[in-house]
Amino acid sequence: MLDFDWQFFLEVLIGGLLSGVMYSLVALGFVLVYKTSGVLNFAQGAMLLFAALTFVSLVEKGIPFALALAITFGVMVAIGIAIERVVLRPLTNRPPMTLFMATLGLSYILEGAAQLIWGTQVHGLDLGIDDIPFEVGGVLISQFDLFAASVAAVLVLLLSIFFRYTRIGLAFRAVADDQFAALAVGLRLPWIWATVWAVAGLVALVAGLLWGARLGVQFSLSLVVLKALPVLVLGGFDSIPGAIVGGLLIGATEKLAEVYIGEYFGGGIESWFAYVVALAFLLIRPSGIFGQKLVERV
Amino acid sequence: MADNNPLLVIDGVSATYNHAITALHGVSLTVDHGEIVALLGTNGAGKTTTLKAISNLLPASRGQITTGSIRFDGKNVPATAPADLVRSGLVQVLEGRHCFRNLTVEENLITGGIGRNARRHEISDDLEKIYDQFPGLKEKRRTLAGLTSGGEQQMTAIGRALMSRPRLLVLDEPSMGLAPLVVRDIFETLRKLNHDTGLAILVAEQNSTVALKYANKAVILENGKAVLSGTAERLRSGSDVTNLYLGQKSETSKTAHYFTAVGT
């Protein structure tokens, strides 16, 4: 172990952390909705796909970048509010499984709608960021990954400020804490839920663009939800810091495992190692690193 | 004159949970402007269900009103959203306090101001008033509500309700799990509020001794029916009442009554 290549280790670690940020971004959309309404929104991936596809198609039609972004944002907010109105509100007070199944169905509807409107071909998405690695102290860093990580960091920062210092943010935290009390205090829950779904739409848009730029905008894009699940298990379903840290951990372990122990399994363990970690974590700490333990005080 | 009409009128209300379990059988009561009314009864008598019906919170507990009517200040309660009831001056302090545990005491109080769309300076004025009424809360303003004592949580919950500037404050068992001295403090504060500002109060209690001491009138519930009502004075003195409905033998055995009431 004396000739352990630290530089290489660092390179893999940083690459892993940066790709982990992308997982965090998807997980964040889940956390926002789960925290306030207790719904595990399986349609987050479909929303992400829908956002990316709408944006790409608009750009391909010759609409300028900024305008396409604004239109897509508007569409995602409208979809978020519509989901709350049409799907979730009639199902208030139903068991969590019912709500989960509803969002599962919803993800198919969204995917189908996207297919119907924009077609099924694969689109390339160019955000104008060169994917040329640059060198810092002998370590190669992907420019695109760094860009993605910065965007995610700014988004998280903005969301934190929003929730910490605004009225609607305080109301959001109150609802997340005790929904029944929030109702009794006079907070308008439907309004707050609509806001949360709109924010989830925004997160889906950002994640969709970044993932779309990396993988190409195609239907397998909605499968990134599956990558978000281990992140949620690790970080806790109801914690925003958890989504960030969980994403970083999953990203880093995935890459490190692939490089250092992958050869013993014949390689390619990156695609499933995250689930092994999540499974192990479920045995040790089922509520996640930052998740709230369910403690009943009698 | 509008003020001659009672503030709250409940008329023959029956309620069920899940359309199956009947919790109330035709309960009627009224609360006048500036009045303190106690709603007494043992566990399961229907106090909480009555109060939830008054704030239109039953649908959120899978409950529904089957017959009867509830009017607050002329408003048809079952057809009014809870948030709109709060804005028109009917605010409830829930059973078990229900503070936002991960919010600070002050943030808890502010949510009450948001609940009625208060302006920023109104919120800071109201905060000062609440801290005057509950001096203990001021030192704890930056503490997470979940980490404060039961009494402080009850005061936070009451303060949060007062931030909505209610005309009728509804409280569900404010004495639950609290030391007698704390209970006395809370009821003294409520009485002062009622006296100084004319705030009407409807309080559900198992602790009939305390509630009857501060109330103007009381209604006794048993198995979802209002079995007796009258002035607090009359109910305090009528030993038959306490015998029959609260299991209290006499004034001298208050503790015995307390345990019977809790136990049933």
Q: How confident is the model at residue B200 (pLDDT cuts 50, 70, 90)?
A: very high
Looking at residue A298, its pLDDT comes to: 40
Looking at residue B229, its pLDDT comes to: 87
Q: Is residue A27 part of a domain?
A: yes
A182 CB neighbours in chain B (<8 A) are 100, 111
Instruction: Check pLDDT > 80 for residue A68.
Output: yes
Q: Is residue A116 part of a domain?
A: yes
Looking at residue A1, its pLDDT comes to: 52
Cβ-nearest to A171 among B86, B114, B160: B114
Q: Is residue A291 part of a domain?
A: no
Give the residue on B whose Cα is nearest the Cα of A171.
Answer: B111
Q: Do B192 and B162 contact (CB within 8 A), yes or no?
A: no
A3-40: per-residue pLDDT in tens? 778 888 998 999 899 888 888 988 998 998 888 888 88
Given the cut 0.90, state whether the ipTM is greater than it.
no
Looking at residue B247, its pLDDT comes to: 53
Cβ-nearest to B103 among A92, A177, A183: A177
Looking at residue B172, its pLDDT comes to: 97
Size of interface A-B (CB pairs under 8 A): 78
A184 CB neighbours in chain B (<8 A) are 55, 57, 82, 86, 91-92, 94, 98
A103-140: per-residue pLDDT in tens? 999 999 999 998 899 888 888 888 777 777 888 777 88
Looking at residue B82, its pLDDT comes to: 94
Q: Is residue A187 part of a domain?
A: yes
Distance CA A14, CA A237 (A): 25
Q: Is residue A86 part of a domain?
A: yes
Q: Do B63 and B49 contact (CB within 8 A), yes or no?
A: yes
For residues B90 and A34, the model is more confident at: B90
Q: Is residue B107 part of a domain?
A: no
Q: Do A234 and A277 contact (CB within 8 A), yes or no?
A: yes
Mean of pLDDT values over A216-237: 86
Q: Is residue B251 part of a domain?
A: yes
Q: What percent of chain B has pLDDT over 70?
A: 89
Q: Is residue A140 part of a domain?
A: yes
Cβ-nearest to B116 among A177, A181, A186: A186
Mutation pick from B64, B100, B124, B165 vs chain A, by most beta carbons of A within 10 Å, is: B100
Q: Is residue A60 part of a domain?
A: yes
Mean of pLDDT values over A156-166: 88
Domain CATH for B13: 3.40.50.300
Is B103–A93 a contact, with Cβ atoms under 8 angstroms apart? Answer: no
Dihedral pair phi/psi, residue B202, rounded to 5°: -120, 115
Q: What percent of chain B has pLDDT over 90?
A: 75
Distance CA A235, CA A232 (A): 5
Instruction: Check pLDDT > 80 for residue B239.
Output: no
Instruction: Check pLDDT > 50 for residue A84.
Output: yes
Q: Do B200 and B9 contact (CB within 8 A), yes or no?
A: no
Q: What percent of chain A has pLDDT over 90?
A: 28
Q: How confident is the model at residue B3 (pLDDT cuts 50, 70, 90)?
A: low
Number of domains observed in the structure of chain B? 1
Q: In A158-267, at which residue ranges do the beta strands (DSSP E only) sit?
A: none
Q: Is residue A293 part of a domain?
A: no
Mean of pLDDT values over B165-170: 96
Most distant pair of Cα atoms in chain A: their distance: 65
Looking at residue B244, its pLDDT comes to: 54
Catalogue the long-range contacts made by B209-213 (C-beta closer than 8 Å, 24 or more residues apart): B209/B254, B209/B257, B209/B258, B210/B175, B210/B183, B210/B184, B211/B38, B211/B40, B212/B38, B212/B40, B212/B236, B213/B187
Looking at residue B262, its pLDDT comes to: 41
Number of domains observed in the structure of chain A? 1
Q: What percent of chain A has pLDDT over 70?
A: 97
Q: How confident is the model at residue B254 (pLDDT cuts 50, 70, 90)?
A: very low
Q: Is residue B184 part of a domain?
A: no
Mean of pLDDT values over B112-123: 89
Domain CATH for A130: 1.10.3470
**Any A CB within 8 A of B122 CB:** no
**Any A CB within 8 A of B92 CB:** yes
Is B114–A182 a contact, with Cβ atoms under 8 angstroms apart? Answer: no
Looking at residue B1, its pLDDT comes to: 44
C-alpha distance from A207 to closest chain B C-alpha (Å): 29
Looking at residue B16, its pLDDT comes to: 94
C-alpha distance from B54 to closest chain A C-alpha (Å): 11
Looking at residue B240, its pLDDT comes to: 52
Mean of pLDDT values over A236-247: 87
Q: What is the pTM of this model?
A: 0.82
Domain membership of residue A26 as a residue range: 6-284
Cβ-nearest to B86 among A93, A178, A186: A186
Looking at residue B250, its pLDDT comes to: 42
